[in-house]
Amino acid sequence: MNTSNLIVCRCEEVTLEQLEEAYQSGCCSARQIKMKTRATMGACQGRVCRQMLDAWVHLKNPQLPRDAEQLAYRPPIRPVTFGQLAKGEV
């Protein structure tokens, strides 16, 4: 089974292969991988994929403490469409 196209972050369409590439390029913490790949930065703000990314990083680098660089979690106050922004309705 080819897992390289497995999508980890649905909002930003980040695949397992992209995580691997970021890790191989020197990104060894969840925060560094987030900055490189945009995983957890989509519409859900990591509610779906953050724990999976943290667990994957821990599997790759078990000597790194789990809470070394926790990812920020910033839920939106309320969803707003681009149309509402353009009309100044917000």
pLDDT tens column, 7-30: 999 999 999 999 999 999 999 888
Between 41 and 70, residue with greater pLDDT? 41
pTM exceeds 0.85, yes or no: no
pLDDT for 34-55, tens place per residue? 999 999 988 888 888 988 998 9
| Alpha-carbon gap, residue 54 to 25, rounded angstroms | 18
Domain ranges of the chain: 7-87
> What CA–CA distance (Å, rounded) separates 48 from 63?
25
Class of domain 7-87: mainly alpha
Q: What is the pLDDT of residues 71-82, one digit of tens each?
A: 665 666 667 788
Average pLDDT over the chain, rounded to an integer: 84
DSSP letters for 3-63: -TT-EEETTTTEEHHHHHHHHHTT--SHHHHHHHH-TT-STTTTTTTHHHHHHHHHHH-TT
